[in-house]
Amino acid sequence: MQSIAAGECLLGRIFVGILFGNPASILSMGCLMDDLRQSSFSQPSQGRILVVDDEPNNLKLMERFVCSLGYECCVARDGLEALDILRKDIFNILITDMMMPNMDGMELLKYCRKSYPGMDVMVLTGYSSIYTYTDVIGEGAVDFIEKPAGIDELRAKLQRISREQVLRVRLRQEIEERWTAEVELKKYQQHLQEMIDERTLELQRANQQLRMEIEERRLAADEVRSYAEKIKLFAYTVVHDLKTPAIAIDGLSSLLYRKYFHEFGERSARICKQIAKSSGQLVELVDNINYYIKAKENPIYIESFDSGKALVDIYGEFARQFRAKEVAWEVVGEMPQIRGDYMSLIRVFRNYVDNALKYGGNSLSIISVTYSKNDGQHVFKVSDDGIGIGAEEKESIFELFNRSKTVMAKKGTGLGLAIVREIADHHKGSAWVENREPHGTTFCISLADNL
């Protein structure tokens, strides 16, 4: 740093001497130049400068000074020589004198601004110059220095120009990056639009296909509904047509047996009883089919009623069988006021109690009813201590025409528990069976408490 400072001091003395025409300074220029050559300028390069001046001493001193500031420097003696150099090389800054032979500084400035717009031009001129500050700045020069110029002023202006060049370079880079980003963005937007168009076309095709499928399903559903209505109508017709002759057969066989059983032999009486029994089963089957269709198809009528009173009515229906079989009836705890289809739930309790009495076996001694409330559901359980059912049959007995293997010898249609499950579904509940310990069965039903 000391060597650079010394070099700048020497340059300053020589530069001022020449510009002011100091004879002593000019005479001692040779000695000062020798001292200047021995000075070390180790500052790194900050750019490249072309100095143009027709005065050799000024040119040499400017070269030394520019190099001392860390720039790479090249010199030309007039404008034409400068143009030859510019055609072969690239420079950041051009420093030119104005008054020169062949091509003056103003012509050089105009040419450079047109042909080398990326290079900044600084003008050096004396007070007597015919060109003013306004002239040279108007033609595109970045700065104007009047002779004699101060070294500090020249250094400051070069540093400013260099900073501005760096800023311009960064600005160009940013502009290029933004332009590149915009190009990429436009490409992406175009690609995105193509993807959107393609996806839109796919969705249109999918929507068209979906509409076709919906229409096909609607037609299929209409066909299914039409077929279901036909089936339901057929079922009602069959039930009605079967019930009438079944009732007639049952009645006639019973009448025949009552009036003429004393005239029948043992075999004839047995056949007559079997006819009456079979016709009675047929009537019951027809009735249960009718009940099942109604439970599955017809809407329920929701009303509020006392479940305890309903159980009293149920016991009244089966009181004779309870007494005949010597089976106890027990309702545990208070029964609640509930909302539901009264006739449907009466059928559920009637079915559960009838199953217990019919299939409980000789060990049956008690039938009990309990109530609880769990997760927004009313839960009723009808328990007995009869023979029970197999664990593997807990689900199958609620299916159509499916009966427990332990009661196959007993009278039944296999529809009662299927009707119960349909009723439970309509009440947003379920129906199931549990085994009791050590023996017996518990039939359960739940229904929503917010019907």
Q: What is the mean pLDDT of residues 338-354?
A: 91
Which pLDDT score, from 0 to 100, does residue 308 have? 93
Q: Express each pLDDT in 114-154 by its tens digit.
A: 999 989 999 987 655 677 788 888 888 998 888 766 778 88
Which pLDDT score, from 0 to 100, does residue 220 have? 87
Q: What is the mean pLDDT of residues 289-304?
A: 72
Q: What angle do CA 340, 341, 342 make, to 5 degrees?
A: 100
Strands 441-448 and 377-384, by their bridges, are antiparallel
Where residue 223 falls among pLDDT bands split at 50, 70, 90? confident
Q: What is the mean pLDDT of residues 216-234?
A: 75
Distance CA 258, CA 402 (A): 34
pLDDT above 70 (res 255): yes
Other C-beta atoms within 10 Å of 99: how many?
17
**What percent of the chain clears pLDDT 90, i.e. is strictly above it?**
37
Q: State which CATH number among 1.10.760.10, 3.40.50.300, 1.10.10.60, 3.30.565.10 fits the domain covering 301-448.
A: 3.30.565.10
**Inter-CA distances, 256 with 205, 245, 264, 272, 274, Å:** 74, 16, 10, 8, 12
Domain residue limits, the chain: 2-149, 191-298, 301-448
Secondary structure of residue 427 in the 3-state scheme: coil
Please name which of 100, 120, 20, 112 lies closest in space to residue 56, comparing C-alpha atoms: 100
Distance CA 126, CA 108 (A): 17
In whole numbers, what is the pLDDT of the chain averaged over residues?
79
Is residue 111 within 8 Å of 83, Cβ to Cβ? yes
Which pLDDT score, from 0 to 100, does residue 264 have? 64
List the beta bridge partners of residue 369: 331, 382
pLDDT above 80 (res 250): no
Helix (H) or strand (E) holding 303: strand 303-306
- N-term to C-term CA, the chain: 98
pLDDT above 70 (res 27): no
Instruction: Give the 3-state DSSP-derived string for 352-380, with helices as H, strands as E and coil as C.
Output: HHHHHHHHCCCCCCEEEEEEEEECCEEEE
**What percent of the chain clears pLDDT 70, i.e. is strictly above it?**
74
Q: Express each pLDDT in 48-81 by its tens digit.
A: 999 999 989 888 888 888 888 889 999 999 999 9
Please name which of 372, 310, 369 lies closest in space to residue 345, comparing C-alpha atoms: 310
Q: What is the mean pLDDT of residues 408-426?
A: 72
pLDDT above 50 (res 391): yes
- Domain 2-149 sits in CATH at 3.40.50.2300
Which pLDDT score, from 0 to 100, does residue 327 have? 93
pLDDT above 90 (res 370): yes
Which pLDDT score, from 0 to 100, does residue 437 have? 74
Which pLDDT score, from 0 to 100, does residue 42 have? 38
Q: What angle do CA 183, 189, 194 make, to 5 degrees?
A: 130
- Please name the residue ranges forming H helices in 139-265: 151-260
Name the range with the highest mean pLDDT among 132-136, 137-141, 285-289, 390-394: 137-141
Pick the more confident residue, 25 or 351. Answer: 351
Q: Express each pLDDT in 165-216 by its tens digit.
A: 889 889 989 999 999 999 999 999 999 999 999 999 999 999 999 999 999 9
Distance CA 368, CA 384 (A): 7
pLDDT above 60 (res 31): no
Which pLDDT score, from 0 to 100, does residue 32 have? 39
